[in-house]
Structure 1
């Protein structure tokens, strides 16, 4: 059986999108997600996105990282899916129902309200998440924010001077974070501007991370470093983030369709649903 896919990206954070809304697909599992994500022997992507029917939204979006783990939210993928859908939509995710709609600046996504208490991050034990009394070498006193998935944010002078390839996985897998964590290093350059790099759990360094941009903006606003509307610039480009007075986070930015194709799971020595 051949399965159709759409290759998309948001500021270089790239996805293979499978659409099971109108035509059912065999079960998609971690082994197939990992095989498709491989940039040498698969299609290549940071995340595999599966669209399914939903009882609570217009459709459901499932997100598999490159290592096969399924995660709660992905802001860039939501913009890509919003572009593919072509009209305003309420999208069910493991992190809750979010909304996406076309705008003059690309796709705007209402990401929900941030969660800041330690149990919602989650952390392994109670701790002040506003200024965490911890350090991993030179990275110290981060903010922890859950925006559908967990993030820690370190404010530094120069994000590009941080050895994220070494420190990212060290922090991601620290026992403090029972569900692992996304690691952000950011520099505030103006009251409305932040420079950001992100180590994504299960994927590694990416060119952009929409939830990371949202979490970082919230952390900076909480500390009084920026105003409630801010441009977050990642290696792949800028995202506009607003934390509205009603508590809702709105992210706006571009999304792009790269190409379409099809594959046979047997090409990878697998069958869809091979591991359950």
Structure 2
């Protein structure tokens, strides 16, 4: 069987996308997803996304982690699948789609390579020592550090992700350094079980956690640097709930092919 795929990246977070409206990829299982995402024996990617039809939305997003398991919400993936939907002619400048954590709205540039994606509201932020823990569609641990460029993110993140508190369900681990006019973030992602070049729900969690820590309220915009580029997070915070959260960044087609 031959299946057409497209490869997209959002700030270096890369994904395999398949138009599944006609059931193009059959017999999807854990091993097939792992094979496709393998960077030596497959296409390579941090995850696999299927764009499916839905009666009440422009489309439905189904996301698999690189380990082959169904994943929670992926913010950079959400931006990429919106760009993919524009490429397919499903949407023009706006999208309303369904993901695992519920409905999402997005706006896309006329060129189709920049997407502002609305994330779910967040009303619970807890602490684990001096770190913050919150769910922005996926669960995240946020810890501020210094000299982040030199940090061994793989081993430090792996240790937290697999400690007694988080081992069973897993958690994404974000390390953040304040650079003055922006935040620098590096993330160890569960499901990939490695550091990725960017994590959309992760940088969203970082921006919200910092506002919580600084007790900022009102409309807030945060510029964030990741290994794969730059992302902006915009939101409103009234001291109790984070609303109107938008993850804004690139969504770029890399190549397409058949496998």
TM-score, scaled to structure 2: 0.88
* 3-state SS of paired residue (1:70): coil
CA distance in 1, matches of 2:70, 2:225: 26
CA distance in 2, matches of 1:225, 1:32: 46
Kept after mapping to 2: 8 A contact 1:115/1:146: no
CA distance in 2, matches of 1:16, 1:52: 14
**Alpha-carbon deviations, 1:150-188, whole Å to 9, x = none?**
000001112223211112122112231242000000012
Residue in 2 aligned with 1:92?
98
Residue in 1 aligned with 2:79?
79
Q: CA RMSD in A?
A: 1.9
Residue in 1 aligned with 2:19?
19
- The partner residue of 2:197 within 207, 210, 229 is 207
Bigger Cα displacement from structure 2, 176-185 vs 53-62? 53-62
Residue in 2 aligned with 1:35?
35
Kept after mapping to 2: 8 A contact 1:107/1:252: yes
Residues 144-183 of structure 1: matches in 2 within 5 Å?
144-177=133-166, 178-183=168-173
In structure 1, runs of 5+ residues without a counterpart are: 118-128, 134-140, 264-276
In the TM superposition, residue 253 of structure 1 has moved relative to its aligned partner by 0.7
TM-score, scaled to structure 1: 0.82
Bigger Cα displacement from structure 2, 9-18 vs 224-233? 224-233
In structure 2, runs of 5+ residues without a counterpart are: 87-91
Residue in 1 aligned with 2:89?
none
* 3-state SS of paired residue (2:119): strand
Kept after mapping to 2: 8 A contact 1:152/1:181: yes
CA distance in 1, matches of 2:56, 2:27: 21
Residue in 1 aligned with 2:186?
197
Residue in 2 aligned with 1:52?
52
Residue in 2 aligned with 1:266?
none
Residue in 2 aligned with 1:138?
none
- The partner residue of 1:233 within 220, 225, 246 is 225
Kept after mapping to 1: 8 A contact 2:3/2:24: no
**Alpha-carbon deviations, 1:181-220, whole Å to 9, x = none?**
0000001223x52110000102111111111110000000
